Amino acid sequence: MKEIKLKECVVCGEDFMPFKTTEKVCSLTCALAYAKSDVDKKNAKAWRKEKKIRKEKLKTASDWLQDLQKVFNEFIRISQKGSKCISCTNNEPTDAGHYRSVGAHPELRFEEKNVNLQCRKCNGYWGGNLIEYRKGLVKKYGIEVVEWLEGPHDPVKLSIPEIKEKIEYYRSKIREMKKKAVV
């Protein structure tokens, strides 16, 4: 077992024998004074900032793509707010559903015309309800756009800086739309 050594109280400067190695103060009076001080708050804020930077450095391209997907889906939900489900007549769609799935067509993952509001039933339980989704797309964008979506596409491999750029682009779009909604 490790021996606990004398420590200096961060409030009064007196030496004291701590019960635990993490103790910083010598008494209840000093503990109350320390709790009221901004020392811990500043340290905590600096630590949170440092932790955020460290976490970002550890992120892989896949992690960044997930972040982009969340921001992109939020953009779709806000930009199409008030629309019905593209596949049925549900007035309260909650999902950003892909016509051409992310797994089968990753090159269309962030194509705005490929992603539309869908209700949970159509997007989740009915596997996208693709026949009705296609009809909705034809009505919304026209047959040319639907045929383009269904056609062949070049693979897209985004670098981390490109992903970060797209995240910032969609975040700024979301901020603009939220400002317009408030006014």
At 40, the pLDDT band (50, 70, 90 cuts) reads: low
Please report the pLDDT score of residue 1 as a whole number: 55
**Are the beta carbons of 30 and 12 closer than 8 angstroms?**
yes
**If DSSP codes are grouped into helix, strand and coil, which group holds residue 91?**
coil
Instruction: Give the model confidence (pLDDT) of 55-110 as tens digits.
Output: 989 999 999 999 999 999 999 999 999 899 999 988 989 999 999 999 999 999 99
Q: Check: pTM over 0.75? Answer yes or no.
A: no
If you average pLDDT over residues 32-47, what whole number do you get? 77
What average pLDDT is seen over the chain?
91
